C-alpha cells in the first residue's frame, strides 16, 4: 500500500525532521510555516499498518509536490519527497521491491475493510427553515434571483437564463438543509411551483422511492441524490 501526501505549495520548501515543521520561502523573502507533510504521511501509514495487520502487507509512503515551480531544498532520510513527475518512476521501483502480495479475494476483502471505516459526516442544522431562501436560485445572477418552473424547464425572469439540471443543486440544498424526504405540497411550497400536476410530474420523473398512498405520498431523497437525478436528464 502506498500512502501519498500531495501538496500544492509553491515557493522554496524546507522540511525539518527535528521540529516537524515545513517552511516555505516566497519569492519576496517572506517565510511561512506549515504542518510537516512527513509527519502527516507517517501518521496515516501507522493507522493503515494497525488496520491491516492480518494481511502482512507492506505500507510505503511519499510526499509528492504537485506544483512544478516549487523548489525542494532538502531531502530526508525518513520518506521520499519529490515532484509529481517522479511518481511513475517511484511506483515502478516499488513494484520491483515488493512482489505481488495479495490474491484477488484478499484484495476484495481489504477493499471492503477500508470502505467500512469510511465515515460520511451528517449535517444537522438548528436553523428554522423559514429563514432559508426558498426556490431555485439563478447561478448566472450569483444566486440573487429566483427562477420559475414552466413547461419542464427553470427560467430566470431577470437574466433569462434557462436550465433543467439546475434543479439537482436546489434539491441537494433541500436535502441538506430541510429534510431527506419531501411531499408534493412541500415541493410546491419550497420551490414555488403553482401547479400540483407539475410537481407530481417532476417527482415522478426522478423515480424517487416513496411510501404512502397517492394523497399522502412521501418521497425519499437518496443519499447519492446528485448521481441519482443526473440519470434522468
Nearest to 77 by CA among 36, 38, 33: 38
Stated as kind and residue range, the H or E segment containing 188 is helix 184-191
Q: Percent of the chain beyond pLDDT 70?
A: 97
**Residue 53 confidence (pLDDT):** 87
The per-residue DSSP string of 164-180 comes to: STHHHHHHHHHHHHT-S
Q: Kindly state the cell numbers that stand for 27.
A: 519569492
Q: How confident is the model at residue 15 (pLDDT cuts 50, 70, 90)?
A: confident
Residue 169 has, within 13 A of its CA and on its CB side, a CA count of 12
pLDDT greater than 90 at residue 18: no
Structure confidence at residue 96 (pLDDT): 93
H-helix or E-strand containing 32? strand 31-35
Q: What is residue 216's DSSP assignment?
A: T
111-166 pLDDT, tens digit per residue, is 888 888 887 776 666 777 778 888 899 999 999 999 999 888 999 999 999 998 89
pLDDT in tens, 193-208: 989 999 999 999 999 9
pTM of the full predicted structure? 0.52
Amino acid at each position: 500500500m502506498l500512502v501519498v501526501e500531495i501538496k500544492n505549495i509553491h515557493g522554496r520548501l524546507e522540511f525539518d525532521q527535528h521540529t516537524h515543521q515545513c517552511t516555505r520561502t516566497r519569492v519576496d523573502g517572506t517565510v511561512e510555516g506549515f504542518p510537516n507533510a512527513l509527519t502527516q504521511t507517517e501518521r496515516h501509514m501507522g493507522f493503515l499498518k494497525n488496520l491491516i495487520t492480518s494481511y502482512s502487507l507492506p505500507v510505503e509512503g511519499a510526499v509528492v509536490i504537485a506544483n512544478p515551480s516549487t523548489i525542494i531544498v532538502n531531502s530526508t532520510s525518513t520518506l521520499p519527497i519529490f515532484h509529481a513527475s517522479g511518481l511513475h518512476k517511484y511506483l515502478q521501483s516499488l513494484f520491483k521491491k515488493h512482489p505481488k502480495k495479495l490474491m484477488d479475494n484478499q484484495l476484495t476483502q481489504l477493499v471492503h475493510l477500508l470502505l467500512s471505516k469510511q465515515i460520511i459526516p451528517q449535517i444537522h442544522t438548528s436553523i428554522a427553515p423559514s429563514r432559508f431562501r426558498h426556490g431555485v436560485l439563478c447561478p448566472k445572477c450569483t444566486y440573487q434571483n429566483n427562477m420559475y418552473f414552466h413547461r419542464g424547464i427553470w427560467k430566470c425572469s431577470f437574466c433569462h437564463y434557462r436550465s433543467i439540471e439546475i434543479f439537482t443543486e436546489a434539491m441537494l440544498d433541500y436535502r441538506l438543509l430541510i429534510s431527506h424526504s419531501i411531499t408534493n405540497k412541500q415541493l410546491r411550497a419550497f420551490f414555488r411551483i403553482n401547479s400540483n400536476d407539475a410537481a407530481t410530474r417532476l417527482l415522478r420523473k426522478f423515480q424517487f422511492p416513496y411510501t404512502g398512498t397517492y394523497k399522502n405520498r412521501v418521497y425519499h431523497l437518496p443519499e447519492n441524490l446528485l448521481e441519482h437525478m443526473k440519470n434522468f436528464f
